[in-house]
A and B are shown apart, each in its own frame.
Chain A
């Protein structure tokens, strides 16, 4: 009886330990807390504050109205009114802005407010950039490319639900690799030349390990074009590193698969 009790207890302890250890997202939850995201957003605001001021202004003001009560506790209303225009960053006066804020307000209390502002700005910045990039490319390509765009966005949706990457994150990564990949122009366009590369990434986006999934095909006779394409894809990934990966959720994207398929481009 005692033995059974000991077995039962030890088994339960082991089970609890295993459950805690093997379900890390339960522990990692705090990692995704808003403050960490906010820090990241401030950096983006500093870099990209050019064409989005009108939109951002509306959002900022809306947020400020909601937060009015909190702000008024930190500083007199008059001072706050003066600061308003400064919160919408202008390209050449960022340093001055920061100084003003420091003088007029308690930095510790201002900080979260800036974070919130930039969080909205980030959404605007990333989306607009992405759209602009897509429009530029669309200009260069024919109507066929529009089809590709649709396909891409469909796959993005599929992936973002499946993997947790947002559309913007996936598009940013894709756009980065587009720029690095010099497509070998001599490839035949009617062959099946899909190259799949599996990457193990470090947290900073550099490559720990790269593997061509169909690497045995490279050395088969009559597969010269596949080999050339695979080498060009590997070259692109290496040139591109560090890859533009999200700053959070490392566990989700530490292993990633890139499918290189130039066929539609070569046909067009």
Chain B
């Protein structure tokens, strides 16, 4: 009886709380870049100069590089430092969140630099200003001359924490540097950081070079050059500078790429007007023929798992994109739009294939799913081609040429990048004209 009574009383109290829960669906938000404050890193160094580096300025320099990286993504809006009200040393210990919120910042990066035993130590913290809590904190130790890389690594960590994607700042881009008039271009292999700094030239410009590609460890580069006036695929070790011709083909080899495990090179081999796709194992030097068709098959690219290959072929009449298994079986056409398709490249995420499309006198860079559906053209121009993926599959870098006069005047070739959403199209600054870019994987994995 007592139990029944207690249950009855409990239920009566429960009625009081019986309002139905209000649910509100939020399906839209603003697409503005996230306001972020990058405080100059606090410098805890006594000496003014260290190994020809102005130690006192390192804090500002590193924060500037981070800011520049964020700005370039289009996803973040680094706030003007003039509006900052807290000093870097105090901000790094415990930010006054209200002050930072006043300038509409939603996230804050703080840091501290010190040099001990000829080693540069850089700490950084990422703060969520709305929640008033720390989101990430890391420290790196390196040689002082490596401060730029530290800035890129910090950018990657912050980017990953705030977007959920891996970053792409601690990476390099290899490209063909071009100088001279259009009719007599001097082309060299060049390598630079993704932000355009630290450019180095890998060849002298005596021979024409085209389509350089990194291997997965970023130590080797394969590219096409001319050997006795015959286009051949080469392999170059970036550290030692040693280069060699890939394979002993009795004809022209071109459009090389590494397999995802870096053990093979896949390329086209042309003879008697026919072009097919071959692979060569770099360890055993064994050559394997992948396609055997009377049409022109070229521009092969492996899927990230190495099980499939996409390539272009004119076997249906016009040049279109095809996919097949890595042994050459089950080839099927995946592009069916109007126009000509070329230079297909499989995304590192595996979901998309980027391509160049030529239609009605215009060149487009676009993406489609690996089964050929969902084709989207991201950018249109007079002449542009050769897309290459950023290591996180978020951006594409490609090159664009301008229309020139009959004497070649007004001609230029520049590198551009674009987000796969079609937004944030921007030029990558290079020291000379540039073409055929290829993005490395992350240097710090």
Contact = CB atoms under 8 A, between A and B. Distances in A.
Q: Do A and B bind each other?
A: yes
Interface of A: 18-19, 21-24, 137, 145, 148, 151-152, 155, 159, 162-165, 170, 173-174, 177-187, 198, 224-225, 227-229, 231-236, 238-239, 251-253, 255-262, 264-265
B30 A257 contact: no
A24 B18 CA distance: 11
Contacts of B13: 18, 22
A259 B23 contact: yes
Contacts of A183: 29-31
A18 B9 contact: yes
A155 B16 contact: no
B19 A265 contact: no
B24 interface: yes
Contacts of B27: 148, 151-152, 261-262, 264-265
Given A258-B24, A262-B29, A22 B15 contact: yes
Contacts of A19: 12
Contacts of A260: 26
A163 B165 contact: no
B32 A251 contact: no
Contact of B25 (A18, A231, A259): A259
Contacts of B19: 163-164, 251-252
Given A18-B9, A177-B26, A182-B32, A187 B20 contact: no
Interface string B129-160: 01100010000000000000000000000001
B22 A182 contact: no
B26 A159 contact: no
Nearest to B132: A238
A22 B16 contact: yes
Given A23-B15, A235-B130, A182 B30 contact: yes
B131 A255 contact: no
Contacts of B46: none
B163 interface: yes
B150 to A, nearest CB: 23
B30 A256 contact: no
B21 A255 contact: yes
Contacts of A163: 19-23
B421 interface: yes
B28 A265 contact: yes
B241 interface: no
B128 A235 contact: yes
25 contacts: A18-B9, A18-B12, A18-B13, A151-B27, A155-B23, A159-B24, A162-B20, A163-B19, A163-B20, A177-B24, A177-B29, A179-B30, A181-B28, A182-B30, A182-B31, A182-B34, A184-B163, A185-B75, A185-B163, A187-B164, A224-B165, A225-B164, A257-B21, A259-B24, A265-B28
Nearest to B161: A228
Given A18-B12, A224-B164, A251-B19, A258 B26 contact: yes
Given A228-B163, A228-B164, A178 B21 contact: no
A170 B24 contact: yes
Contacts of B20: 162-163
Nearest to B13: A22
Secondary structure call for the A interface: helix
Contacts of A151: 25, 27
Is the interface on chain B under 10, 10 to 19, 20 to 34, or 35 or more residues?
Answer: 35 or more
B165 A152 contact: no
Contacts of B135: 231
Contacts of A236: 29
Contact of A185 (B9, B15, B23, B31): B31
B56 interface: no
Contacts of A259: 23-26
Contacts of A231: 128, 131, 135
Q: Which of A155, A186, A231 has the most CB of B within 10 A?
A: A186
Most chain A CB neighbours (cut-off 10 Å) among B20, B21, B22, B34 = B22
A261 B12 contact: no
Interface string B362-380: 0000000000000000000
Given A262-B29, A265-B29, A252 B130 contact: no
- By Cβ-Cβ distance, the 4 closest A-B pairs, closest first, are A181-B29, A186-B163, A228-B164, A224-B164
B28 A148 contact: yes
Contacts of B30: 178-179, 181-183
- From B21, B23, B26, residue with most partner A Cβ within 10 Å: B26
Interface in B157-193: 160, 162-165
Contacts of A180: 29
B289 interface: no
Contacts of B21: 163, 198, 255-257
Contacts of A257: 21-24
Given A159-B22, A224-B165, 16 more contacts: A18-B9, A163-B22, A170-B24, A178-B30, A182-B34, A182-B35, A183-B31, A186-B165, A187-B164, A228-B163, A231-B128, A234-B130, A235-B106, A238-B130, A252-B22, A257-B22
A173 B165 CA distance: 31
Given A186-B75, A186-B394, A234-B131, A256 B26 contact: no
B29 A178 contact: yes
B16 A24 contact: yes
Nearest to A194: B25
Contacts of B101: 239
Contacts of B35: 182
A260 to B, nearest CB: 5
Nearest to B14: A22
